[in-house]
Chain A
């Protein structure tokens, strides 16, 4: 009876009670950040925007999802899907499947995802050929003529570029205020605001991620080299950072928009190419600090190759401020795009964008249309606010003083 074994707490054993702590650093940071209701709301809103962006053609489309015309079934919405639409849907589906495959390590799942994406986009670009000419009013006319036996429309039965030409009522000029048929009203060309806003989610998501991605990528490379090699590399790099930091992004965008054809990718590239200086400074400072740390010395002394020292030992430890600055950068990029579109620059005239709707809230006659300012404004505000909430939560989660590791 006496030899009841007891666990000597406090000895060289870490008790089972602490097992829940055994997460990787990134997982623990995410866990910490997610603990706040603010972050959850932010992520919830971003998820909604991402959902709208992915499934925009199924949420707002002038073409019915499923229709029976003259006794023949067809799906005009699917026929009119573009390559990008297909890719997004396939990406969303594969993401869902991969998230369920809990047994695979995260890294492998990420590679799978990148692989699927890389395969799908060229394939769809090659294979998917939507009709070049299409009349948005086609099925409205058919229905009017009574040739439609059965029809399933999208929740918002208007495409963003559908100017509702068939319903033009000159006694009641555009834009129309919100009504039962147009919940958020229409803009000055007669496009449905809700439909435009749903399709504009794509630009809002992509402009933030792509331009920030460019900025972070350049920032890590330049800042990492400056920080690790120091000396003359650092000196030259810092001058480069100062030069790029001095370029006023908005003016550059205005100049480019005036000089070249309007193009969303150019806007992304310009925001990314001028926005990396902050990231470079962060990475440089972190690398300079880490370079003198003992574990980096140990890695060099063990004869590890430079690639391992830089990317396995230094970079993961320098990621913290980058994560934070990236989430604020996404918010800033969305704002920049909105400002440009509001000024009537930046995007092509027919591109669906929240900023363009804002621009139209002040009519040609000088009248102010509240619904054109309120709904897109709210969307911009909520998105920027969400990214800021996430950034804030990440910053706190990464702060060693608040979350001792």
Chain B
């Protein structure tokens, strides 16, 4: 558990300049409960596992498990952003939805303001949900095509008894205005809007319950480049205004770096590296993070960096490799195994080719541990230090 201590220390030392002096009276009123003690994170996730059973045959016997999320732990601080990066199928979307209880978890805990979120049921769960909202990737499927924009945004307001009637409509209008849309759009249907506008409607819906935690599930990856930055800036402004914490899920590393205070990299259902945004990008410790960073094409015709092109594909989460899940693709363990002792190395097949890797990487699962560099910089790799 040493790395949790490390994380806490790092957080304690972090400057909170974003919040200094910007908390006005109205914002204090918007905050739903008293400010948290510094050491309590807003959302604390511990050893979260979401496994999907694989069923076969007429009696639907469970023949295996897809370990979409397999032991993920992290904290999200009030008013801060945690970025969650990874390739498709790594389980990042499942993490976001499991935290909000849209998908049932297998094991693990999620605490919101120190309260066990999974202990809530029925009416009390519905009430608690208003504090934790979600923004989706697909601007088409995220809005009910049969409801007007006004009802999409207004229904949660009414159901939670925040406002009704004319007051509700006023609130909807002000929300639309805040996300940069005309209040008259409330009478229209989603299909009348462009992708960027729909995403703004989705944001307005998430804001309607004045939450303090929002899961942003790839909020800009379906949008045009020139629209992406508008939406990112809007999310940024809202965070500063309303002290909202984000779990920012994305596959685009440049976007995540720009947007997050802290970044966690996921590979096959697990977090393999976590550090403050700047530290992670300037001083990556996990070979997977390094490969990801080097694979991002830069908008520069004369790139200086060396590119590492990973061999092979992401393995299936229903049958992940033993030990460190990255070992069949890892260039680092191959290099370290070169000329190594027979006892310390082992021959495996990767992408149809025989490869020699370190025995430890195949046999034992590496835990997240503090690496050299900034405090709180943790990575799960046997080789790097």
- Using a CB–CB cutoff of 8 Å, the interface residues on chain A facing chain B are 12-14, 18, 21-22, 24-25, 235, 293-295, 297-305, 308, 312-313, 316-317, 405
Contacts and interface: CB of A to CB of B under 8 A. Distances in A.
B133 A22 contact: no
A298 B188 contact: no
15 contacts: A12-B182, A14-B185, A14-B188, A22-B187, A24-B189, A294-B136, A295-B143, A298-B206, A301-B134, A302-B129, A302-B209, A304-B156, A305-B126, A316-B144, A317-B146
Contact of B142 (A235, A295, A305, A312): A295
A308 B160 CA distance: 13
A298 B189 contact: no
B136 A308 contact: no
Q: List 9 A-B pairs, minimum CB-CB distance, nearest first.
A: A303-B129, A294-B142, A302-B156, A303-B126, A294-B136, A316-B146, A295-B144, A405-B191, A293-B141
A308 B191 CA distance: 22
A385 to B, nearest CB: 31
A305 B133 CA distance: 16
Nearest to B159: A304
B136 A12 contact: no
B224 to A, nearest CB: 13
Nearest to A306: B126
A283 to B, nearest CB: 15
A295 B146 CA distance: 11
A405 B209 contact: no
Given A18-B192, A21-B192, A405-B191, 14 more contacts: A12-B182, A14-B185, A14-B193, A235-B60, A297-B97, A297-B102, A298-B134, A299-B144, A299-B155, A302-B205, A304-B155, A313-B144, A313-B147, A317-B145
Interface string B53-80: 0000000100000000000000000000
A12 B180 contact: yes
Interface in B131-166: 132-134, 136-138, 141-147, 152, 155-156, 159-160
A300 B130 CA distance: 10
Contacts of A317: 144-146
A297 B132 CA distance: 12
Contacts of B228: none
A13 B182 contact: yes
Contacts of B126: 303-305
Interface of B: 60, 97, 100, 102, 125-130, 132-134, 136-138, 141-147, 152, 155-156, 159-160, 180-182, 185, 187-189, 191-193, 197, 202, 205-206, 208-209
B32 to A, nearest CB: 13
Nearest to B208: A302
Residue from the set B130, B155, B209 with the largest chain A CB neighbour count within 10 Å: B155
A294 B187 contact: no
B138 A294 contact: yes
A contacts with B: majority SS: helix
Contact of A305 (B146, B159, B188): B159
B130 A303 contact: yes
A12 B183 CA distance: 12
Contacts, number: 93
Nearest to A314: B144
Contacts of A303: 125-130, 156, 159-160, 209
A122 B264 CA distance: 69
Given A295-B142, A317-B145, A301 B188 contact: no
Contact of B133 (A12, A24, A302): A302
A299 B205 CA distance: 10
A298 B182 contact: no
B24 to A, nearest CB: 27
Contacts of B205: 298, 302
Nearest to B214: A301
Contacts of B100: 301
Nearest to B125: A303
A112 B132 CA distance: 41
A295 B129 contact: no
A317 B141 CA distance: 12
B192 A22 contact: yes
A67 to B, nearest CB: 55
Contacts of B144: 295, 299, 312-313, 316-317
Residue from the set A294, A304, A308, A312 with the largest chain B CB neighbour count within 10 Å: A294
B150 to A, nearest CB: 13
Contacts of B209: 302-303
B146 A12 contact: no
A12 B126 CA distance: 35
Nearest to B134: A301
A402 B170 CA distance: 38
Residue from the set B60, B100, B126, B202 with the largest chain A CB neighbour count within 10 Å: B126
Nearest to A231: B60
A299 to B, nearest CB: 8
Contact of A297 (B134, B145, B187): B134
A25 B189 contact: yes
A317 B160 CA distance: 24
Residue from the set A21, A22, A298, A405 with the largest chain B CB neighbour count within 10 Å: A298
Contacts of B189: 22, 24-25
A25 B187 contact: no
A14 B192 contact: yes
Contacts of B127: 303
Nearest to B151: A312
Residue from the set B130, B159, B182, B202 with the largest chain A CB neighbour count within 10 Å: B159
Contacts of B155: 299, 302, 304, 308, 312
B209 to A, nearest CB: 6
Contacts of A14: 185, 188, 192-193
Residue from the set A14, A295, A313 with the largest chain B CB neighbour count within 10 Å: A295
A13 B180 CA distance: 11
A335 to B, nearest CB: 33
A304 B187 CA distance: 21
Contact of B181 (A12, A18, A22, A297): A12
A301 B129 contact: yes
Nearest to A297: B102
A405 B143 CA distance: 13
A405 B147 CA distance: 13
A301 B133 contact: yes
A295 B187 contact: no
A308 B159 contact: yes
Contacts of B182: 12-13
Contacts of B197: 12
Nearest to A315: B146
A345 B182 CA distance: 64
Residue from the set B127, B146, B189 with the largest chain A CB neighbour count within 10 Å: B146
